[in-house]
Structure 1
Amino acid sequence: MEAITLFQKHGLVTILLSRAIPILPEVSACLAGMMRLRFRTFLSTWLASTVPYAFIATYAGSISSIDNPKPAIFIKRGQNP
């Protein structure tokens, strides 16, 4: 029951931070469904955490090359495997 209370209070923050920790995206999505979080709210929060990383990773890939892969490596290194 404590997990439910914490998610009700801090669920949106959990979804926003879910890109940083493995398994947290799946857990937060399941909890959002269990807590009956509106799908529109979940989706907008999830997009707010995913889209910026996607743009950064895409840009890093676009300026990387076989001779200089550092930008893409640095971006990927910041993410957990």
Structure 2
Amino acid sequence: MNEQDARAAVHAAIGEVAPDVDFDDVDEDARLRQDLELDSLDFLRLVETIDKATGVDIPERDYPAVATVKGLIGYLAAHG
């Protein structure tokens, strides 16, 4: 998966889990839980949504690597 596909998958997944997030105002350095205000259940739903959409499983040990929008995009690009 290239970075553009990863970015599209992340935006789609966040849009599904947190439809009130406006990507025009979101910086890629935004932290998913703090800046986008995803609670722990929303974060888990996001990980599951990405797994279903892309087939990329994100194990719990890698959660710190995907704590930001940019980190999640990079993770998907590297593992997808």
> How does the TM-score come out when normalised to structure 1?
0.27
Instruction: Flag the structure with more relative contact order, 1 or 2, with Cα contacts below 8 A and sequence separation at least 6.
Output: 2
More helix by share: 1
Structure (1 or 2) with the larger CA radius of gyration: 1
